[in-house]
Amino acid sequence: MTIYDAAMDTVSKERLLEKDRNYLWHHITPHNDNPMVIVSGEGSWITDADGNRYLDGMSGLWCVNVGHGREEIALAAAEQMRTIAYYPLVQSHVPAIELAAKLNEWLEGEYRIFFSNSGSDANEVAFKIARQYHHQNGKPAKHKFISRYRAYHGNSMGALGATGQAQRKLKYEPLGVGFQLVPPPYCYRCPFGQTKESCELQCAQAYEDAINWEGADSVAGVIVEPVITGGGMIVPPDEYLAKLRAICDKYGVLLIVDEVICGFGRSGEKFGHHNFGVKPDIVTMAKGLTSAYSPLSATAVSAGLYASFKEAGPDHHFRHVNTFGGNPVSCAVALKNLEILEREGLVARSAYIGQELKERLKELTRHPKVGEIRLFGSALGIELVEDKESKEPASAESAAAIIAGCKSRGLLIGKNGDTVPGFMNIITLSPPLSSTDEDIAFIADTLLEVFGTGQEGA
């Protein structure tokens, strides 16, 4: 028996947990002496050390888009390792070249691709590129970035500075300088006191106000996810992103779209900004790029922006290096992942999954503790409230009870934890795009059963 068997005996499991307790630091969770130990996965399902199977309703962390256990991805990685496993991108290699070309196809534009390791890395690169671009175009004072409250853009000091989640920043400030925040396009709790009928996109106009208040000559860029995902699945009005694009153009401000979660089919289109018909200046991506089979991220920069980096001069090139960014194995994995997404029609499948969940969960909208259900492609958020009239956010304990109820029935879902004080009341789902009809029915039936038991009030 190995530690990778689907189930292990009690002694083997306890030995493994003892090593965990002694040596491993878990991500973004309080200390836990008895974590769930995952040992295998296939399709939308994972198995723990006790042999329990769970439907992975969050695709890990919004990322395993093609599902678990894809042998052809493992074979592509092995073949690349046998050929050449590493060379830095100060020069070039075949998988990076082919992947950069394929990403241009997916982006439906002309971009130069800079590879890194993670979404945080990709956004840090975007900020540096934007500042250097303006500097090289005679506007060195343009250094500030405007983001949104509730948004998340990464863990590193600059990306966390752009993040609008107070609890993520607690005990780490001061962070990177030059980041300003505006209210989110949160229609359910409109910061401007409007309704859908009276909306004049004040949430988008807020960017123009901020640019003018800061001084247009000091603002380098705006960074947005097409939809605020981890911060509560906040879906903007249809015209929001187009208006923001026009504001950026008016003031010479770069539009950076963070597609780390929304990209690679999650939105029901290839990228989330395609849902809104806009072309960003810079696109950042990670997660679904490899379906998390290997670490890789990318910062796509429009060809026009890249031109200033080609000019002669000792400091006109982008002076940034990443040891593992664009690793040949990760690029080979990404190419095989994109091949699967295309061959199996998983972008369209994502849109279908979203429609199925919307239809199957329709009756949940009448539940007294469900304020709103929000969907973007196959990503879903359910906002829990104490009552529909006051919209008072439900407690974090209420969300935890729903999550526990689902887990006990074999479904793993997520939440907007460690974000904004008093508003950790949104549960989230983001199942693999390869999920079967039976998988989707299981997700919906489990949610309906858990809400029907009254666990949301625990």
Tokens 């306890």, located at residue: 14
Dig out the tokens for 84 from the structure.
């050449």
Residues 406, 450: contact at Cβ < 8 Å? Answer: yes
Please check whether residues 124 and 248 belong to one and the same domain. Answer: yes
| 2: in domain | no
CATH number reported for the structural domain that contains residue 151 in this entry: 3.40.640.10
List the CATH number of the domain containing 393.
Answer: 3.90.1150.10
Contact by Cβ (8 Å): 161, 146: no
Query: Which helix (H) or strand (E) element contains residue 291?
Result: none
Q: Are residues 338 and 356 in the same domain?
A: no
What is the C-alpha R_g of the chain? 22
> Of 327, 343, 359, at which residue does a domain stop?
343
Instruction: Order across the sheet with 370-376: list the strands.
Output: 370-376, 379-384, 426-429, 414-415
Pair 19, 150 in one domain? no
Query: Would 216 be classed as within a structural domain?
Result: yes
Q: Answer yes or no: is 5 within a domain.
A: no
Q: Is residue 3 included in any domain, yes or no?
A: no
Contact 156, 235 (CB under 8 A): no
Q: Please state, in angstroms and rounded to a whole number, the distance separating the CA atoms of residues 257 and 148.
A: 12
Q: Are residues 172 and 222 in the same domain?
A: yes
Is 278 in the same domain as 311?
A: yes
First to last CA, the chain: 40
Element holding 265 (H helix, E strand): none
Residues in the chain with pLDDT < 70? 1-7, 453-458
Q: What is the pLDDT of residue 1?
A: 34
The answer to whether residues 425 and 366 belong to one domain is yes
Same domain, 80 and 201: yes
Domain boundary among 343, 364, 389: 343
* Residue 95 within any structural domain of the chain: yes
For 138, 272, 353, 372, 375, the CA distances from 268, given in Å and listed in that order, are: 40, 8, 9, 20, 10
211 & 311 share domain:
yes
> How far, in Å, CA of 299 to CA of 285, rounded?
7
On whether both 388 and 359 belong to a single domain, the answer is yes
Tracing tokens 């006790």 back to the chain, one arrives at: 50
- Sheet with 45-48, strands from edge to edge, namely 38-42, 45-48, 53-56, 411-412
Partners of 385 in the β-ladder: 393
Q: Do 272 and 330 lie in a common domain?
A: yes
Do 290 and 428 belong to one domain? no
Same domain, 336 and 350: no
Q: Provide the domain limits for residue 369.
A: 10-66+346-457
Q: Do 374 and 187 form a contact (C-beta atoms < 8 A)?
A: no
Domain count, the chain: 2
Confidence (pLDDT) at 6 = 54
Look-up of token digits 């975007």: 126
Q: What is the pLDDT of residue 453?
A: 66
Q: Which residue in 324, 265, 262 sits closest to 297, CA to CA? A: 324
Work out the percent of the chain whose per-residue pLDDT is above 70.
97
Helix (H, G, I), strand (E, B) or coil at 245: helix
Q: How far is CA 341 from CA 84, 204, 337, in A?
A: 25, 33, 6
Domain boundary among 343, 378, 397: 343
Asked whether residue 1 is domain-assigned, the answer is no
